[in-house]
Copies of this chain bind each other. A is one copy, B any other.
Amino acid sequence: MIILKLGGSVITRKEADKPTINHENLKRITREVAESTHQKLIVVHGAGSFGHPLAKKYAIGDEIQDNLDLKKKMLGFSLTQHAVKELNGIVSEYLRMHGTLSVSIQPSSFILTKNKRIKSADLTLIKRYLELGFVPVIYGDVVLDADESIEMAVLSGDQIVKYLAEKLKPERVILATDVDGIYDKNPKKYPDAQLIETVSSLEQIETGEETNIDVTGGMGGKVSELLGLLDLEIESEIINANKTGNIKKALNGEKVTGTTIKR
């Protein structure tokens, strides 16, 4: 079984201030998925411009100040849940259009976090969908949190990837992003930045020059989720989904330029 994460920056226009699909990418990527020879597959996708601006605006996951603030955050929750569900519908539809038997899985219907980390999530149905031959499509969402000071949290697609990988022990985890992988310096600033082909610890990438890691999220969050999987002997790859053919090759088990997280 393979877990394929499609980054929000790949399937949406992340810089847009309102929800905007990257149709061109989504069409190509879902065709590559359909054309690959993978067996069982779970697709996890990020929220991109469908989730982040709203979650940020309503400060979901921040401490609740008073009842008015609670109501405001609840409205934000309702709006964000709706928007990311819409994105999920579009991703599932593109997959189906190319012949993949996609099934949507809504995190906020069955996942509870505690201090923003998944506390409980029954994966029985996801396993059954997989066994039957469906491709479950799950995504970054807003969820209830057991911590009463926040009540609600943003659950990233990356955290879902880690949780699913821990519980379901996939053969491979592929993170499709909008860059080739992790660099030793920020490649947007330094033309001589080198791609790091193998990462086995956070220290390894934090000790260098300014990299393309930002620890508040983005690549830093991804890498730390993936490093957590090494204890379970699960390796993962970060690849560039903006390059035609990469997703198909990676799903087929072919070598793709990128960063591998392994010991």
Q: Which residues of A contact B (CB under 8 A)?
A: 70-71, 74-75, 77-79, 81-82, 85-86, 89, 92-93, 96, 101-110, 112, 122, 124-125, 128-129, 132-134, 144, 151
Asked if A74 meets B134 with Cβ closer than 8 Å, knowing A82-B89, A82-B96, the reply is yes
Select from chain B the residue with minimum beta-carbon distance to A135.
Answer: B78
Query: How distant is the Cα of A93 from the Cα of B78 in the complex, in angstroms?
Result: 9
Asked if A134 meets B96 with Cβ closer than 8 Å, knowing A110-B125, A122-B110, the reply is no
Q: Do most interface residues of chain A lie in helix, strand or loop, or is the interface mixed? A: helix
Tell me the number of copies of this protein.
2
Interchain CB contact under 8 A, A89 and B86: yes
Query: How distant is the Cα of A103 from the Cα of B73 in the complex, in angstroms?
Result: 13
A132: B residues at CB distance < 8 A? 70, 74, 144, 151
Interchain CB contact under 8 A, B125 and A74: no
Query: How distant is the Cα of A105 from the Cα of B106 in the complex, in angstroms?
Result: 8
Interchain CB contact under 8 A, B96 and A74: no
Query: How distant is the Cα of A44 from the Cα of B87 in the complex, in angstroms?
Result: 23
Interchain CB contact under 8 A, B112 and A125: yes
A105: B residues at CB distance < 8 A? 106, 108-109
